[in-house]
């Protein structure tokens, strides 16, 4: 099954972030969302390590390693941006001041449970970072993930089997195959990638899917994914 | 006269003993007081408990202490780094104890210790393995987990500027854990780029007031 590319998923997520929003983007693929935020909207990106108004990667040679994002990569500060210390940064997160966060996931359950910090493999040290704070604190927790693991196992499940990050926190999931809302402990499919039929999507999912009446194709930008 | 400036690492680390608990500022390498950590290494200090967001990055500071097996335990939110394998090696071999704390909880526990708060309730970690064994309570219909303050014998922080009263400024996102940790160490030592005259730091720019800082050392 060929669905959306990562940049295409990121573009699709970016369309749902409204003007004026404060947004935290998780480490890894969610960082791509920043590249596709519509230019006619003022959206403020928060980085857990003490930045509001985070800007793009600086040109090579102009990096300042005291100015990094949560993934520890060099970034820039936009006009209007601010620096602050960690405890204030997490007050913003837990205190309900962040409108959206976009997180990756190992597993998402139909009741909105999220597992994205540890597996059942204990040989590697676990690391939670700010994921648990974001999960309970952001107004809306969006998940960006492949629909299945590399081995083809579903990541959207009846119940998570990995250690949880947060209970009932996820509001919407964007995968390479579909856009799915979590409503009343059910997966409600809003959009499906072009060329993916409903049976195939259900077969790739570890819980029952409910298709919205107005379920349609996922919109993609002509330039995304190229 | 108050003069917290010291000119050598022996003075900066006076009183630091084996078995100490040290808070270490920094988010990855940004804001990490590598030179203070390496001075502790050079002085043979061992059996340390480290409180830090990460457990080392690159090849300096915590990674060097870890490589020399001077660290017994790390309390952190995110020990894995793409460029430091030592944590994984020691952990897999059972030679390093890790206590994983959600990042905001870690920061708030540190602040609580520095602010004389006997703990707090947070929704973070409810229903997860990191809440196991902790007291929980329903407040306004929502479950919260009780978290205790986190103090240390020493706090090592990295600033941009200091004066002899210990007032500190920071540089960009290298500020991170510095202000909270400076409050929570019995002895707080600040490694800074430059020590300037009293009055040279605009009072509006002071991020950590000197009352929280015991010693400052300029490291270029």
3-class SS letters over A62-118: CCCCCCECCCCCECEEEEEEEECCHHHHHHHHHCCCCCEEEECCCEEECCCCEECCC
How does pLDDT run across B119-133, given as a tens digit for each residue? 999 999 999 999 999
User: What is the SS3 assignment for B73?
Assistant: strand
A90: distance to nearest CA of chain B, Å?
Answer: 5
pTM, full prediction: 0.96
**Is A31 a catalytic site residue?**
no
Nearest Cα residue in chain A from B112: A87
Structure tokens at A46: 């928060």
A124: distance to nearest CA of chain B, Å?
Answer: 6
Contacts of A123 in chain B (CB under 8 A): 92
| B81: confidence class by pLDDT, cuts 50, 70, 90 | confident
Asked whether residue B177 carries a pLDDT value surpassing 50, the answer given is yes
Mean per-residue pLDDT, A169-195 = 98
C-alpha to C-alpha distance for A132 and A134, rounded to whole angstroms: 5
Interface test with B, best of A24, A125, A138, A162 (most B CBs within 10 A): A125
Structure tokens at A102: 């976009």
Q: What is the ipTM of this complex?
A: 0.96
C-alpha to C-alpha distance for B167 and B208, rounded to whole angstroms: 6
Choice among A31, A39, A48, A62 that is catalytic: A48
DSSP B61: T
Q: Can you give the pLDDT at residue A123?
A: 80
| A3: confidence class by pLDDT, cuts 50, 70, 90 | very high
| B80: confidence class by pLDDT, cuts 50, 70, 90 | confident
| B116: confidence class by pLDDT, cuts 50, 70, 90 | very high
How does pLDDT run across A134-176, given as a tens digit for each residue? 999 999 999 999 999 999 999 999 999 999 999 999 999 999 9
Asked whether residue B83 carries a pLDDT value surpassing 90, the answer given is no
B110: distance to nearest CA of chain A, Å?
Answer: 9
**C-alpha dist (Å) from residue B184 to B21, B78, B116, B181:** 11, 20, 9, 5
- Classify residue A56 as exposed, middle or buried by CB count within 10 Å of its CB (0-12, 13-18, 19+): exposed
Asked whether residue B75 carries a pLDDT value surpassing 50, the answer given is yes
C-alpha to C-alpha distance for B47 and B36, rounded to whole angstroms: 16
In whole angstroms, what separates CA B51 from the centre of its chain?
5
Nearest Cα residue in chain A from B107: A87
Contacts of B172 in chain A (CB under 8 A): 64, 66-67, 77, 83
Q: Can you give the pLDDT at residue B118?
A: 98
């Amino acid at each position: 099954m060929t669905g959306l590319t990562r940049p295409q998923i990121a573009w699709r997520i970016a369309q749902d972030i409204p003007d004026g929003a404060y947004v935290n983007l998780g480490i890894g693929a969610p960082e791509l969302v920043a590249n596709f935020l519509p230019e006619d909207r003022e959206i403020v990106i928060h980085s857990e390590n003490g930045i509001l108004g985070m800007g793009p990667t600086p040109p090579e040679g102009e990096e300042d390693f005291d100015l990094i994002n949560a993934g520890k990569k060099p970034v820039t500060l936009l006009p209007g941006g601010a620096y602050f210390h960690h405890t204030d940064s997490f007050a913003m997160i837990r205190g309900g001041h962040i409108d959206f966060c976009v997180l990756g996931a190992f597993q998402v359950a139909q009741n909105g449970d999220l597992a994205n910090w540890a597996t059942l493999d204990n040989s590697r040290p676990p690391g939670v970072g700010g994921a648990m704070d974001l999960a309970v604190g952001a107004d809306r927790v969006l998940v960006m993930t492949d629909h299945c693991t590399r081995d083809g196992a579903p990541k959207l499940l009846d119940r998570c089997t990995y250690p949880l990050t947060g209970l009932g926190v996820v509001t919407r999931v964007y995968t390479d195959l579909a856009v799915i809302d979590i409503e009343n402990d059910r997966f409600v499919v809003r959009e499906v990638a072009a060329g993916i039929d409903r049976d195939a999507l259900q077969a790739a999912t570890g819980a029952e899917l409910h298709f919205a009446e107005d379920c349609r194709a996922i919109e993609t930008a002509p330039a995304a994914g190229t | 006269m108050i003069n917290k400036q010291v000119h050598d690492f022996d003075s900066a680390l006076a009183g630091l003993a084996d078995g100490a608990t040290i808070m270490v500022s920094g988010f990855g390498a940004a804001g990490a007081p590598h030179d203070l950590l390496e001075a502790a290494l050079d002085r043979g200090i061992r059996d340390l408990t480290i409180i830090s967001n990460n457990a080392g990055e690159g090849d300096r500071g915590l990674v060097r202490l870890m490589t020399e097996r001077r660290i017994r335990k790390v309390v952190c939110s995110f020990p894995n780094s793409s460029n430091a394998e030592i944590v994984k090696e020691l952990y897999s071999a059972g030679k390093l104890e890790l206590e994983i704390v959600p990042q905001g909880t870690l920061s708030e526990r540190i602040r609580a210790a520095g602010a004389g708060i006997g703990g707090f309730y947070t929704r973070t970690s409810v229903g997860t393995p990191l809440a196991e064994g902790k007291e929980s309570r329903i407040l306004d219909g929502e479950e919260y987990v009780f978290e205790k303050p986190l103090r240390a014998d020493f706090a090592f922080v990295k600033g941009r500027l200091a004066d002899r009263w210990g007032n500190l400024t920071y540089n960009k996102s290298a500020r991170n854990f510095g202000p909270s940790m400076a409050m929570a160490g019995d002895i707080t030592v600040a490694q800074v780029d430059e020590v300037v005259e009293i009055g040279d730091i605009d009072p509006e720019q002071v991020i950590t007031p000197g009352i929280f800082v015991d010693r400052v050392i300029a490291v270029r």
